[in-house]
Amino acid sequence: MPAKRILITGAAGFLGSHLCDRFIREGYHVIAMDNLITGDLKNIEHLFKLPEFEFYNHDVSTYIHIAGHLDYILHFASPASPIDYLKIPIQTLKVGALGTHNCLGLAKAKQARILVASTSEVYGDPLVHPQTEEYWGNVNPVGPRGVYDEAKRFMESITRAYYTFHGVETRIVRIFNTYGPRMRLNDGRALPAFIGQALRGEDLTVFGDGSQTRSFCYVDDLVDGIYRLLMSDYSMPVNIGNPNEISLKDFAEEVLKLTGSSVKITYKPLPVDDPKQRRPDITKAREILGWEPKIDRAEGLKRTYDYFRSLPEEEWSKQPK
């Protein structure tokens, strides 16, 4: 039987590249697409020699043409860290809206099943804790983060509309903070920022008083949840994340302990619209997908630190722009 064919957009990014690895391992033919606006070919160059892997440098906010049939589409193209989407807000809105529309059109034409990458940011600064999929969210559409949050909310709506009106098989994953190898040290997110500072021997910067909480999911767990959701018959949104919550201050201390660094923690003002609490309710993922995270923070943090430490030292000095 010929291998199943899957299109992965955002393939050169952090999550996209791990998804490419997983689907290659599962015996798929992977068609990877990325315009490299925030991604890096280094993340997937180990796959280039494989006949079952193709790469296209293409902006998915413009028309997408793929020859031959497709079984699945994973739409992961989008700037994901605040530092990126605040710098390229229009491209962020376009890839969430036009890029998603193009992917859904392709799924309809090819009769492929499509899974789109939504986010915990659709809950905004949540008034309900932990967040279940039924919570509608608390997003400021004209706040700085609105460009990302609303793009993803639109993504969910149009995906649902294609399901309802065109009968396309759709899946929606709401991803909570994920970490692991191939994140960028300078992408502005807390975990790589802390590790980068520790590697450079600088104080760790915590924004606000550090009491705001996050929950971090290791990338292999996330990829497994996405795989299960794609193979399931459930079309409504599903949270995938690690419910083990920690304050940013305690997290910074964990990083200091792991790295054996003697630097201090310094505090800076909290950015506008920064959510105070974030923790997924993963009852649905447990019940529908039989999924829950397996890799605890100590193990995941160690694997991630080992990855960053293995990079050439000039990479460590890259600061958030």
- Contact set with ligand NAD (CB under 6 A): 9-10, 12-16, 34-39, 59-61, 76-80, 95, 99, 117, 119, 175, 177-178
Q: In angstroms, what is the minimal distance from the CB of 82 to ligand NAD?
A: 11
101's tokens? 């529309």
92/261 with CB nearer ligand NAD: 92
The phi, psi pair for 288, rounded to 5°, reads: -90, -35
CA distance 190 to 267: 13
Strand partners, 174: 118, 239
Annotation marks residue 56 as catalytic = no
CB 199 within 8 Å of CB 309:
yes
Put residue 273 in one of left, alpha, beta given phi > 0 → left and psi -120 to 50 → alpha: left
Q: Output the smallest distance, CB 200 to ligand NAD, in A.
A: 22
Active-site residue, selected from the candidate residues 28, 72, 123, 148: 148
Q: Whole-number minimum distance, CB 2 to ligand NAD, in Å? A: 27
Shortest distance, position 286 Cβ to ligand NAD, whole Å:
19
In contact, 49 and 152? CB cutoff 8 Å: no
For ligand NAD, the closer CB: 21 or 261: 21
Judged by CB, which is closer to ligand NAD: 117, or 261?
117
Question: Of 97 and 236, which has the nearer Cβ to ligand NAD?
Answer: 97
- The set of residues, in sequence order, having a beta carbon less than 8 Å from that of 32 and lying 6+ positions away, is 8, 11, 12, 16, 20, 44, 47, 53, 54, 55, 56
**Beta carbon of residue 288, minimum distance to ligand NAD (angstroms, whole number):** 19
H/E element, 313: helix 313-316
Handedness of CA 231, 233, 236, 239 (dihedral sign): negative
What b-and-e string marks burial along 257-289, b requiring 16 or more CB atoms within 10 Å of the CB?
Answer: ebbebeeebeeeeeeeeebebbbbbbebbeeeb
Q: Whose Cβ is closer to ligand NAD: residue 13's or residue 293's?
A: 13
- Measured from the CB atom, is 6 or 261 closer to ligand NAD? 6
Beta partners for residue 32, in sequence order: 8, 55
Least spacing, CB of residue 217 vs ligand NAD, in Å: 8
Q: Identify the CA nearest to 196 among candidates 147, 255, 113.
A: 255
Residues annotated as part of the active site: 148
